């Protein structure tokens, strides 16, 4: 199975749908998945945000998010987002982990598929 690493550096639907569409497909097929939200993407992982995101003809984003979580996908937010976006740890959705770049790079050292959005 593959190990998929995705970085997200924008908080608009155009940035947020692709990682969860591709990521949920990956975990559904048994791949390991790590999604890392850089500061630019971090606001999308604040509680209540993806519930409001929708797009014509697109799947339900919250269901994809929950699918990723339930099937073992890891979702991280870069710790730099806290100061950069004036956010606190408790602002983020349950299950989101705040990590540093070095930890992320170490975790994806054997990733076989990578994307950036």
Partner 1 sequence: MATKTLDTLGLKCPQPILKVATLVPQMNPGDILEVLADCESFPKDIKAWAEKTGKTLLFCNTDADGKHTAQIQF
Residue 24 touches partner 1, criterion: CB under 8 A: yes
Choose, by CB under 8 A, the member of 28, 84, 101, 105 that binds partner 1. Answer: 28
**CA–CA separation, 81 vs 61, rounded Å?**
22
- Tell me: does residue 84 bind partner 1 (CB under 8 A): no
Out of 12, 14, 29, 84, point to the residue binding partner 1 (CB under 8 A).
Answer: 29
To the nearest whole angstrom, how small is the minimum distance from the Cβ of residue 25 to partner 1?
A: 4
Structure-token pair, residue 71: 């099937």
* Binding residue for partner 1, selected from 9, 13, 18, 25, defined by CB under 8 A: 25
73 binds partner 1 (CB under 8 A): no
Binding-site string for partner 1 from residue 30 to residue 69, where x marks contact by CB under 8 A and - marks none: x--------------------------xxxx--xx--x--
Task: Single out the residue of 16, 27, 77, 87 in contact with partner 1 (rule: CB under 8 A).
Answer: 27
Secondary structure of the chain as H, E, C letters: CCEEEEEECCCCHHHHHHHHHHHHHHHHCCCEEEEEECCCCHHHHECCCHHHCCCCCCCCHHHHHHHHHHCCCEEEEECHHHHHCCCCHHHECCCCEEECHHHHHHHCCCCCEEEEC
């Amino acid at each position: 199975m593959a190990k998929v690493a995705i970085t997200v550096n924008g908080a608009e639907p155009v940035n947020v749908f692709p990682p969860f569409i591709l990521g949920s497909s990956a975990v559904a097929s048994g791949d390991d998945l790590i999604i890392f939200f850089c500061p630019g993407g971090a606001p999308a992982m604040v509680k209540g945000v993806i519930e409001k995101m929708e797009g014509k003809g697109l799947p339900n984003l919250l269901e994809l998010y929950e699918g990723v979580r339930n099937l073992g996908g890891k979702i991280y937010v870069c710790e730099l987002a806290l100061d950069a976006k004036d956010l606190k740890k408790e602002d983020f959705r349950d299950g989101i982990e705040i990590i540093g770049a070095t930890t992320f790079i170490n975790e994806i050292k054997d990733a076989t598929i990578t994307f950036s959005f």
